[in-house]
């Protein structure tokens, strides 16, 4: 079931080309009208976010482990920047380590998703993430609602 959202621009920062392709295909199949910008490392993400006008994306998906600047470093920069601090940030990573989840929550990520192994699960998680953002807005949910799973 397709749900209509008010967003027009999603951003993805991930250094894995295959994961970027899958995310692009999944988002495109679910919400073909949404613009998607893909950046392949954290440094490029932050440079892009600091170009006027900012914030440039309604929702930012960030991988934890990237070259040049990690996902956590990007999250910290976003939360410390006056014009970006209310951006919706979703950590999208292969990690399911409790420490990564707690660190992401502690630094203010809105949600945490461990990358699924199937395309259909990825589609489901993207929709779940978008519905969760619609429900919570820019506010971080309670800890028990932070990790989204298929």
Please report, for the chain, the start and end positions of each structural domain, with discontinuous segments joined by +. 9-148
Three-state secondary structure of 8-31: CEEEEECCCHHHHHHHHHHHHHHC
Single pTM value for the model: 0.93
Please check whether residue 23 is in contact with residue 31, taking contact to mean a CB–CB distance below 8 angstroms.
Answer: no
How does pLDDT run across 111-123, given as a tens digit for each residue?
A: 999 999 999 999 9
Enter the tokens of residue 6.
Answer: 């008010």
CATH of segment(s) 9-148: 3.40.50.2300
Displacement of CA 5 from its chain's centroid (Å): 16
Model confidence over 67-99: pLDDT tens digits?
889 999 999 999 999 888 899 999 999 999 999
Q: Tell me what pLDDT residue 39 has.
A: 95
CB proximity list for 73: less than 8 A, separation 6 or greater: 42
- For residues 14 and 23, what is the distance between their CA atoms, to the nearest angstrom? 10
Instruction: Please provide the average confidence, as pLDDT, over all residues in the chain.
Output: 91
- Residue 52: is its pLDDT beyond 80? no
Cβ–Cβ under 8 Å, residues 40 and 20: yes
How much of the chain, in percent, has pLDDT values that exceed 70?
95
Please tell me the total number of residues recorded for the chain in this structure. 150
């Amino acid at each position: 079931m397709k749900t209509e959202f008010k967003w027009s621009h999603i951003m993805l920062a991930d250094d894995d080309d295959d994961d970027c392709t899958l995310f692009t295909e999944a988002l495109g199949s679910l919400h073909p009208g949404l613009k998607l910008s893909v950046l392949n490392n954290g440094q490029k993400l932050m440079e892009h976010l600091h170009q006027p006008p900012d914030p440039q994306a309604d929702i930012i998906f960030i991988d934890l482990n990237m070259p040049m600047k990690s996902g956590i470093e990007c999250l910290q920069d976003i939360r410390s920047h006056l014009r970006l601090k209310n951006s919706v940030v979703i950590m999208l990573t292969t990690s399911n380590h409790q420490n990564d989840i707690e660190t992401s929550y502690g630094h203010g990520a809105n949600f945490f998703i461990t990358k699924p192994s199937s395309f259909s699960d990825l589609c489901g998680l993207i929709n779940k993430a978008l519905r969760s953002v619609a429900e919570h807005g820019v506010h971080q949910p309670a800890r028990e609602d932070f990790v989204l799973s298929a």
